[in-house]
Structure 1
Amino acid sequence: MPDLQLPRRPEIVKLGGSLTGDPRLPALLGALARHGAPLLLVAGGGPLADGVRVLQPRLSLSEGACHRMAILAMEQTAIAFADLAPHIALADGPEAIARAQAEGRAALWLPARMALAARDLPESWDLTSDSLAAWLAGETGAAGLVLVKSTAAAPGSAPADWAAAGLVDPLFPAFAARLAGPVAVTTVEAALASLEHGSLAA
């Protein structure tokens, strides 16, 4: 059973931080906004999280501090993405997600409130925004999880293969195994093509 009860099972779309450098990002966000509910979007930390990695050895920062800073980097990226597509609703928890669903809007997760309170998330770089998206999918009983990345997964491959290839973090297969719905990796081009036909199912 999911920990959070929502009016509709969300369809989670993780937008990789590398997409901040993709000129098609505004078009993708616009297409996701038009699709609306029950989409629940998760933004990667992108360059902001990379900055945390650079600071860690320079300042001898702890894993715990970097975990919290990386989650805040995801939050800042989400705010940036929402600025590019104002019809997408920022949501920091189940109440805001449900409100976006009631309004027919896609929601963009602000992770700090939920993720920093969680006790089952390791404070380690082995946990990235991909695993956080899978964790959120489990918490919300999501109908599916799609990771939009700059590189597609090999046909017929599974989460363990993605982790071995460095496409997702090492913890992702374990989080994905908990999900009832399908999990997939796609590219911006493929995601835009799918949304033109009205769906982005995993």
Structure 2
Amino acid sequence: MATKDVDNEGISEEDRPYTPEDLLKIINAPSGGLSMLPSDAYNEVYPNILLGEESIAKQRVQLQKLGVTHVLNTAEGKDDGYHVHTNHVMYRKVNIEYLGIPATDMMSFNLSKYFNKCADYIEDALSNGGKILVNCKVGASRSATIVLAFLMLKRHLPVQDAVRLVRKEREICPNDGFLQQLCDLNEILKKKGHFKCTEEIR
């Protein structure tokens, strides 16, 4: 019978809360321990979920060609240095639904208050046969965090599995504050038994 790895305090690896450092090891492992920015404008990180940067978010015709039906801008705002200035009006012309949240890529920003709203929006898009682009400025921190939260909330993936799944398809680098918020969400969901009904990843 397999035994669980146990640390010095008698806590099994499976039961120990994940930390931002644990997640960073997973994120940086494919690049030899280095933090990497995305090499593509967008990547499909889960069936019909594109994770991308500002440039693809503003190419409405290209999005239409890709079959995108919904856009979730996790960096909505008019400050071009840190945010992406898009809105529902610009997408209406190409029949793309839009949701924007005014998140800032700072460790102190509470992105978790948007986790459920964004997860519901992504789920609604997918359940209706749509394809969604989730973007921020670079497509690596705010948007990646929201996609990870979706996978945890709606696909019942523990945080480490969600991170591995997304990192396999795209370089990501959520800030430490966002990683901590994902770890906190993981603990809340674990205590509720949320991950015991893990859905098979197709």
Task: Please confirm whether the aligned pair reaches a TM-score higher than 0.5, indicating the same fold.
Answer: no
Q: Where on the TM-score scale, by shorter chain, does this alignment land: which range?
A: 0.3 to 0.5
Query: What is the TM-score of this pair, normalised by structure 1?
Result: 0.35
TM-score, length basis structure 2: 0.35
**Higher helix proportion, which one?**
1
Higher Rg of the two aligned structures:
2
